[in-house]
């Protein structure tokens, strides 16, 4: 029996040695396995960074300045994944006043694009559910992110008018994904009007931002995640000066159309890559 247990130990060690090899081989030759590894690494990185940075952010208290820490934590991800970011038109954002940035929303990967372009003194408006993601929620709260309850209209309207006042008072910029949910299709979803109500209430300009489709290197549907190039285009500002709430539906449609046209053009270019 002593011999038997020694055999078992040897076998177990052998298996344990084979395991990393099996994982490496799977990673090398199986695209789906590689996709899940990369997505898991992405989420673990965000969680680890939030956990590491939150105590430092907490020293300052809840402040938009903490967004700089988050941004610095997210920026290296593009190097790990071999994603080249090309930004066009970022000079548009170099104005001193507050403004609203609206951006199309494809996947969690948008975080990497957001880190690339988000200017100083700018916070995203995010869904309230993020608050409950442990240290990630805490890091978001400490960074001054604005949480919105998408299921309670009354709540959402209140948040919008509070934010409009804060923007004017504290010279704050706000970033919103008006599609409201992730979308990897070739066309944009209808826009929710919150961002446009906000810009009109605060009487600040809107900067539409379009992130090119990821499908060359990333697709959650096809479980694909390789390296690739992503283009981010900042469009010229859309003024809201003098507009009132009744102009919001038309404003929303105009901005959505401008972004959809750019996305179509980018998609055509990317198919040719």
CATH of the domain at 111: 3.40.1130
How far lies 70's CA from each of 44, 48, 112, 160, 188, in Å?
14, 12, 11, 24, 28
Confidence (pLDDT) at 119: 95
Confidence (pLDDT) at 187: 81
Mean pLDDT of 170-199: 91
Confidence (pLDDT) at 10: 87
Containing structural domain, residue 178: 1-270
pTM for the model stands at: 0.90
The better pLDDT of the pair 150, 160 is held by 160
Asked whether the predicted pLDDT for residue 72 surpasses 60, the reply is: yes
Cα separation, 175 vs 173, whole angstroms = 7
The better pLDDT of the pair 175, 6 is held by 175
Confidence (pLDDT) at 202: 96
Quick one: pLDDT band at residue 20, thresholds 50, 70, 90? confident
How does pLDDT run across 155-165, given as a tens digit for each residue?
888 999 999 99
Cα separation, 250 vs 256, whole angstroms = 10
Mean pLDDT of 28-46: 95
Confidence (pLDDT) at 8: 87
Cα separation, 147 vs 169, whole angstroms = 19
Gap between the terminal Cα atoms of the chain = 64
How far lies 107's CA from each of 68, 70, 180, 194, 217, in Å?
22, 18, 12, 20, 12
Cα separation, 118 vs 95, whole angstroms = 13
Asked whether the predicted pLDDT for residue 260 surpasses 90, the reply is: yes
How far lies 181's CA from each of 59, 122, 131, 185, in Å?
33, 21, 17, 12
Residue listed under structure tokens 């409009």:
164
Confidence (pLDDT) at 156: 87
Mean pLDDT of 64-81: 95
The better pLDDT of the pair 57, 2 is held by 57
Specify the length of the chain in residues. 273
Confidence (pLDDT) at 67: 96
Burial class (CB in 10 A: 0-12, 13-18, 19+), 98: buried
3-class secondary structure per residue, 202-270: HCCCEEEEEECCCCCCEECCCCEECCEEEEEEECCCECCCCCCHHHHHHHHHHHHHHHHHHHHHHHHHH
Cα separation, 141 vs 74, whole angstroms = 17
How does pLDDT run across 93-114, given as a tens digit for each residue?
999 999 999 999 999 999 999 9
For the chain, what is the mean pLDDT?
92
Mean pLDDT of 189-214: 95
- The partner residues of 127 in beta bridges, in order of sequence, read 148
Confidence (pLDDT) at 271: 58
Domain count, the chain: 1
Confidence (pLDDT) at 235: 97
How far lies 138's CA from each of 125, 145, 147, 180, in Å?
15, 10, 12, 22
């Amino acid at each position: 029996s002593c011999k038997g247990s020694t055999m078992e130990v040897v076998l177990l060690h052998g298996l344990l040695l084979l395991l990393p090899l099996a994982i490496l081989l799977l990673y090398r030759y199986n695209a789906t396995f590689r996709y899940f590894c990369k997505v898991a690494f992405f989420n673990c990185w965000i969680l680890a960074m939030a956990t590491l940075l939150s105590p430092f952010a907490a020293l300052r208290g809840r402040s938009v300045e903490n967004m700089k820490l988050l941004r610095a934590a997210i920026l290296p991800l593009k190097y790990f994944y071999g994603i080249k970011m090309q930004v066009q038109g970022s000079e548009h954002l170099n104005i001193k006043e507050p403004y609203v940035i609206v951006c199309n929303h494809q996947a969690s990967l948008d975080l990497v694009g957001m880190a690339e372009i988000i200017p100083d003194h700018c916070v995203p408006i995010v869904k309230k559910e993020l608050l409950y993601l442990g240290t990630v929620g805490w890091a978001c709260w400490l960074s001054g992110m604005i949480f919105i309850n998408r299921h309670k209209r009354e709540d959402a309207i209140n948040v919008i008018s509070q934010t409009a006042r804060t923007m004017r008072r504290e010279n704050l910029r706000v970033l919103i994904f008006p599609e409201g949910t992730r979308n990897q299709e070739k066309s944009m979803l209808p826009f929710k009007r919150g961002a446009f109500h906000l810009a009109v209430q605060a009487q600040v300009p809107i900067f539409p931002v379009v992130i090119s489709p990821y499908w060359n290197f990333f697709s959650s549907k096809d479980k694909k995640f390789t390296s690739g190039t992503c283009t981010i285009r900042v469009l010229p500002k859309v003024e809201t000066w003098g507009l009132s709430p009744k102009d919001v539906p038309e404003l929303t449609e105009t901005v959505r159309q401008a972004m959809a046209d750019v996305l179509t053009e980018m998609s055509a270019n990317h198919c040719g890559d």
